[in-house]
Structure 1
Amino acid sequence: MGCDGGTIPRRDELVRVKKKPETKDKDAELAFKWRCCSITQETLQQPIVVCHLGKLYNKVSLIEALLDRGALSESFKHVKSLKDVRELKLTENPEAGKNDSSAAYICPVLGLEMTGKFRFVALWSCGCAFSERALKEIGTKTCHKCSAPFVEDDVIVINGTEEDMPLMKERMEKRKQANKKKTKTVIKVEESDVSSSCASSSKVEEAGRKRKANDVSHSKIANVISVGKVTKQEELKKMKADYSVAKDKQATDVYKSLFTSHKSEKEQNRAHWVTYNPFYN
């Protein structure tokens, strides 16, 4: 049984064989994760942020997705606000743009390209990113880029595997609990500051009232006891009803002329320049 032209058919041409499942190109998948935003699949552009689980996002795209509550899928529900992400401080690759295979960012310590072939980590405390090999080889508790101190729970594996997810989730919970404790302590400190400021302001007001009362009493005493060079007895004489400025020996003639009882007032036929006397009107 042959075809036209005397050809002999093969078995796979006559029998339907089950097709093998298509295999993913791992290199293309890695390049996609490290070059594109996890939400919009657009090319990563500064500023770039990373979440607790190590996924990369464009900050602008993430803000738009947070504003539109239905835009985030179930895999991104752990990101509820900008507090759940950290802006990355990346080191630009000087060779970027010369060819398509070069990465945009590199490790600042070893110079490894950030393409997915090498594991990279980020520090939640400062946001610096570098290769995991640099973290293990140097083995210090200070950032290799900015020299800021960090703890083990601050280390985030960028675009980690499924095996890294349980550890990343555990560290995420620890960081959130630590953040809650910090906010509680800050609130307590602010409340104590407010109460102390209120108490101090009340004390200041009370002291001001006492000071005003003392000033008034002192002024009254000063007015009664002495006015200029006048003694207490002389001041008491002036308070009597039979006191007359015209008969006061210590008062000057200029001072006496201010009053209508002065002899000069009896001679004039117009109102006094200081006092108002209706007799002359």
Structure 2
Amino acid sequence: MDLQVFIRSPNHQTLTLTLEPTQSLTLHHLKSSLLPNPQSLSSFYFTLNGKPLPDSTLLPNRQITHLSTLFLLPRLSAGGGDGGATGAESRDCYLKMYAVKKPDKVDPNEQRLGKWLNCALSNEPLREPCVIDKLGNIFNKEALVEALLGKKLPKEFRHIKGLKDMINIKLSMIPGNESDAADGARFQCPISGLEFNGKYKFFALKNCGHVVSAKALKEVKSSACLVCHKEFVECDKVVINGSEEEVAALREMMEEGKAKTVKEKKKRGIDVVDGEKGCGKLEANGKLENGKGLGNGGVKKFRAADVAPANATKEVYASIFTSSKKSDFKETFTCRSLPIGRN
């Protein structure tokens, strides 16, 4: 399969690069083909998801995958009056100054795009099927399931224990060529047409999975999904890539849901007759019989004589169980001693 990569030039134009499986080239060669002036090559560099890439990076590789977006950015050079050379420095000063290479600053716009256009786990471009967790992080389902089965989830995603913690979502593709969309976005709101690129707030509806913009839900007030018309309530809305406050609210809701589930499981594990008033006695076949006067909170104490087999003497049957009758015998797990006068 051919590798297709989108390239954003400094003048905000989007170019499409297609490589056959047998082809390979470095970012330096790619930069040479894009910039006509060879002297300006050192003045530009490529970035991916806000991180700079060296010119020796080879295409294709595991980091730059199919449908990735590379940004070609100019380097900022200092001009006069920036505290540069004064004529008093020696060559050693410059060597010491540049011995440790300072990392390039991360572009916040690229960070935003990477968060909305790529999987939060694998950093690969989003492709269906996609899911979100209960905190609004968006993933490629295949990558998340593989990490879950291999027990390789990072610490920030350890709250995902299984499929029950994933919400399947349905993203609406932008019609036509994806590279024509602003900022490289490939998805949009099916109602308002707003692009899924982090500039606008989006919600996923848990009951049906459709992803729509907050603007659409605000302008068209309805208790049903605007796409499939399935009814939903306010707690069914999960904000995608929300703010710190919104994520904190979702986390609190998630913890409350876990506590409620644990409480319900404990409740189902308690005997239904425990503590109930007017419950009947427990028969030998396990059924309840209407009766009164049960002690200890409504549960009758088990007696062996009450469940003696047919044609059996109750006293003899009960004597099999040492706890059914008090006696003068002193018994341990290894022997039984008889009272004085009977040995």
TM-score (norm 1): 0.55
Q: Is the 8 A contact 1:153 1:174 kept in 2?
A: no
SS of residue in 2 equivalent to 1:45: coil
Q: CA distance change for structure 1 residues 64 and 170 in 2, over 3 Å: closer, same or farther?
A: same
Q: Which residue of 1 aligns with 2:298?
A: none
Distance across 2 between alignment mates of 1:148 and 1:182 = 28
Distance across 2 between alignment mates of 1:135 and 1:156 = 13
- The alpha carbon displacement at 1:91 in A equals 1.4
Q: Which residue of 1 aligns with 2:84?
A: 12
Q: Which residue of 1 aligns with 2:155?
A: 74
Q: Which residue of 2 aligns with 1:44?
A: 126
Amino acid at match of 2:251: K
Amino acid at match of 1:82: L
- The alpha carbon displacement at 1:133 in A equals 1.1
Distance across 2 between alignment mates of 1:55 and 1:98 = 24
Alignment of 1:30 onto 2:112: yes
Q: CA distance change for structure 1 residues 13 and 166 in 2, over 3 Å: closer, same or farther?
A: same
Match of 2:214 among 119, 132, 137: 132
RMSD, aligned CA? 3.4
Amino acid at match of 1:121: F
- The alpha carbon displacement at 1:96 in A equals 3.8
Q: CA distance change for structure 1 residues 9 and 163 in 2, over 3 Å: closer, same or farther?
A: closer
Q: CA distance change for structure 1 residues 79 and 96 in 2, over 3 Å: closer, same or farther?
A: farther
Amino acid at match of 1:63: V
Q: Which residue of 2 aligns with 1:151?
A: 233
Deviation track 1:128-175 (CA, whole Å, cap 9, x = no partner) reads: 100011122223221111111222222111111222111111232344
Distance across 1 between alignment mates of 2:191 and 2:81 = 61
Distance across 1 between alignment mates of 2:173 and 2:264 = 34
Distance across 1 between alignment mates of 2:203 and 2:174 = 17
Distance across 1 between alignment mates of 2:162 and 2:202 = 24
Deviation track 1:16-67 (CA, whole Å, cap 9, x = no partner) reads: 99x9996431221111111111111111111000111111111111111011
Match of 1:94 among 158, 175, 182: 175
Distance across 1 between alignment mates of 2:267 and 2:111 = 44
Matches within 5 A, 1:1-281: 11-14=83-86, 23-69=105-151, 71-99=152-180, 101=182, 102-176=184-258
Distance across 2 between alignment mates of 1:139 and 1:36 = 31
Q: Is the 8 A contact 2:135 2:250 kept in 1?
A: yes
Deviation track 1:150-204 (CA, whole Å, cap 9, x = no partner) reads: 222221111112221111112323444566688899999xxxxxxxxxx9xxxxx
SS of residue in 2 equivalent to 1:122: strand
How many residue pairs get matched? 181
SS of residue in 2 equivalent to 1:12: coil
Q: Is the 8 A contact 2:131 2:169 kept in 1?
A: yes
Amino acid at match of 1:87: N
Runs of 5+ in structure 1 lacking a partner? 1-7, 189-198, 200-281
Amino acid at match of 1:91: S
TM-score (norm 2): 0.46
Q: Is the 8 A contact 1:141 1:150 kept in 2?
A: yes
Amino acid at match of 1:118: Y
Distance across 2 between alignment mates of 1:157 and 1:36 = 17
Q: CA distance change for structure 1 residues 10 and 164 in 2, over 3 Å: closer, same or farther?
A: closer
Deviation track 1:204-240 (CA, whole Å, cap 9, x = no partner) reads: xxxxxxxxxxxxxxxxxxxxxxxxxxxxxxxxxxxxx
More strand by proportion, 1 or 2? 2
Larger Rg: 1 or 2?
1
Distance across 2 between alignment mates of 1:72 and 1:171 = 22
SS of residue in 2 equivalent to 1:57: strand
- The alpha carbon displacement at 1:83 in A equals 0.7
